[in-house]
Structure 1
Amino acid sequence: MNLANIKVIKEILEKNQTFAKKHFGQNFLVDQNVLNRITETAEITPEDDIVEIGPGLGVLTQELAQKAHSVKTIEIDRNIIPILEENLQTLTKEEYKKIEIINQDALKYEPTFENYKVVANIPYNITSPLITHFLTQKNKPSSLTLLVQKEVAEKLTTLEPDMTVLSLQTALYAEAKYVKKVPPSCFFPSPKVDSAIIKITLRSPQDKNFVPEETAKKILQIAKIAFSNRRKKLSNTLRNLKNPKTDLPITPEELLQVSEKSNLDFARRPETLSVKEWQALAENL
């Protein structure tokens, strides 16, 4: 069954008297070239265990089942699951056996197996929390290959001097790469914005840019305060920090000492700091 064909999708929806639900972010992918680029970017092998988020009608699920060792696909919309199961029946028995459909909120899903990859056309309204969920949980994936809103893809892959909290968080745990722009015409129904494929590759402890978990958490705590007002300088926003030893608001004198020890000019704004500079700041607080 060609689930990348708009006519086929319309027939399936009409047959089942249903529609793409906006509150679930359902925009079905209808471009085989984009599907191919997603699976190529994910570098799927026959040994790979895959987690897919939001399978919808199963267009990407089919591709994953043909290439991977197993596919756990997480779908929050229980009403679409019977349709998904029926669509996947067109796979071979061996391919179909690889798939496990889980009716759950992806933000609450925690894989019990290791060395997995996330590959998904994700609902745009949960992009940031979903990436945060997988980057910060104990059992992290080796990579995430995602189709997301283009604006978010650009922000996520942009570091200093235009860094955001999300791009900093991603950079602390992984390397993020912008792969390809995907226009609205590649979906049904068509969204109002461009999309993009990104790949986030998690760093191993052997990586020279690896940041220990506790350090990453501390940096993010500081960053959320520093980014609370992007227009303000660090000297202003960091005044809201507390001294970890006394649990009292940090004094101007203490802030000056941190600036000197970190070799940072606090007249700068948070988006201009590199990951290494954030590490220096965290180490000296």
Structure 2
Amino acid sequence: MAKPHQARKRFGQNFLHDQGVIERIVRSIHPKPEDALVEIGPGQGALTEELIQEAPALQVIELDRDLVPVLRTRFFNYPEFRIHEADALNLDFAALAPAGKRLRVVGNLPYNISTPLIFHLLGQAETVEDMHFMLQKEVVQRLAAVPGDPHYGRLSIMTSYHCRVQPLFEVGPGAFRPSPKVDSAIVRLIPHRELPHPTTDYKQLQIVVRTAFNARRKTLRKALGSLVSAETLQSLGIDDGLRPENLTLQQYVAIADWLADHAPDTDT
């Protein structure tokens, strides 16, 4: 009898085994046969088993080479099933999308890569229909936070720029093997088809938000002092005495656009 696969710390593996939680996740996703469904980190295939019943052309991305034979054996009778041995952080997701379709992305994400992976996917949001992720509960709180919320920050703002965020339900440690030391939660991210507050310079927006939250305890006049003056903030209708966590996405976009419009002319 084959020796059970041991979860590996370096891959941040916590395998989902609670059938009730798995079924609730699948109901939330509501996969259909025609969906271009992609699962990140299928592990031993517990969630995969349920997804593939509804979407036989399921694609999975697995970094742990030892798990690939397990998955191939378990799902050998699904001819449309595809395994990509790859690091999702470096993957071109657009290459997985069939012509004329957007991807539906699903994953029980390792806590150590969840934030960078979400940013990686947000950069390819035009090829994604929606995303359903199991994340650390605190990360979901940060994703869904609104101005004034203590969890509100860079992740909240940059995610809301690209997506609508819907926290779905929480999952306790006992649903996994081994049990993590934190609670988890399921979140749905739906990319905007039209951005509600588009900026003229996305890189400038990233700089403004990063600079602000590097000094989140300070007032805006101090936190953003290296970029804009208090007078400029006031001219944009922004109280320079507020803290970074009090500003809306729209206000951050206004600051970024002002900076883009007033950048020094470098042409010679």
TM-score normalised according to structure 2 size: 0.88
CA 75–217 in structure 1, closer or farther in 2 if over 3 Å, else same: same
After superposition, the C-alpha distances for 1:108-131 in whole angstroms (9 at most, x for unaligned) are 111212411111111111000010
C-alpha separation in 1, matches of 2:174 and 2:141: 20
Which is worse superposed, 50-59 or 38-47? 38-47
SS at match of 2:141: helix
CA displacement at 1:69 relative to structure 2: 5.4
Q: Structure 1 43/18 Cα, relative in aligned 2: closer, same or farther at 3 Å?
A: closer
Q: Is the 8 A contact 1:150 1:181 kept in 2?
A: yes
How far off its partner does 1:195 sit?
0.5
C-alpha deviation, 1:215, in angstroms: 4.4
* Counterpart AA for 2:61: I
Query: What is aligned with 1:167?
Result: 156
Cα gap change, 1:198 to 1:138, in 2 (>3 Å): closer
Unaligned 5+ residue runs, structure 1?
A: 1-13, 242-249
Structure 2 SS opposite 1:143: strand
Match status 1:103 vs 2:85: yes
Question: Which letter does structure 2 place at the counterpart of 1:103?
Answer: E
Give 2:249's aligned residue. 275
Counterpart-to-counterpart distance in 1, 2:169 and 2:52: 23
Q: Give the partner amino acid of 1:19.
A: Q
1:241-277 deviation per Cα after TM superposition (whole angstroms, max 9, x unaligned): 2xxxxxxxx5xxxx13421331001111111111222
User: Structure 1 residue 230 and structure 2 residue 216: aligned?
Assistant: yes
Equivalent residues in 2 for 1:99-248 (5 A)? Answer: 99-111=81-93, 112=95, 113=97, 114-137=101-124, 139-162=126-149, 163-205=152-194, 210-212=196-198, 214-241=200-227
Report the Cα offset of residue 138 of structure 1. 6.3
Quick one: structure 1 residues 48 and 33, their matched pair in 2 at CA, closer, same or farther if it must change by over 3 Å?
A: same
What is the match of residue 22 of structure 2? Answer: 35
How many pairs were matched up? Answer: 252
**SS of equivalent to 1:124:** coil
- Output the CA distance in 2 between the equivalents of 1:48 and 1:262: 44
* Alignment CA distance shift 1:129-1:217 (3 Å): same
Q: CA deviation at 1:204?
A: 0.4
- 1:8 alignment counterpart: none
Q: Would you say the 8 A contact 2:205–2:252 is kept in 1?
A: yes
- Which residue, out of 54, 63, 66, partners 1:79? 66
- How many angstroms does 1:83 deviate by? 1.4
Residue in structure 2 matched with residue 264 of structure 1 by the alignment: 238
Aligned-residue offset at 1:194? 0.7
The amino acid that maps onto 1:222 is V
User: 2:243 corresponds to which letter in structure 1?
Assistant: R
Deviation sequence 1:178-198 (CA, Å, 0-9, x none): 110100111111111111001
CA distance in 1, matches of 2:199, 2:128: 15
Structure 1 position 43, deviation (Å): 3.0
Give the Å deviation of 1:17: 5.6
TM-score, normalised via structure 1 length: 0.83
Q: Return the alpha-carbon distance in structure 1 between the equivalents of residues 156 and 51 of structure 2.
A: 28
Ranges of 4+ aligned residues in structure 1 off by more than 6 Å: none
Could you say what secondary structure the match of 2:39 adopts?
strand
RMSD: 1.8
Partner deviation per Cα, 1:87-140 (whole Å, 9 max, x = no partner): 223xxx3xx123111111110111212411111111111000010000013653
Mapped to 1, the partners of 2:142 and 2:113 lie a distance apart of 15
- Go from structure 1 to structure 2 and tell me whether the alpha carbon gap of 1:35 and 1:138 turns closer, same or farther (over 3 Å shift): closer
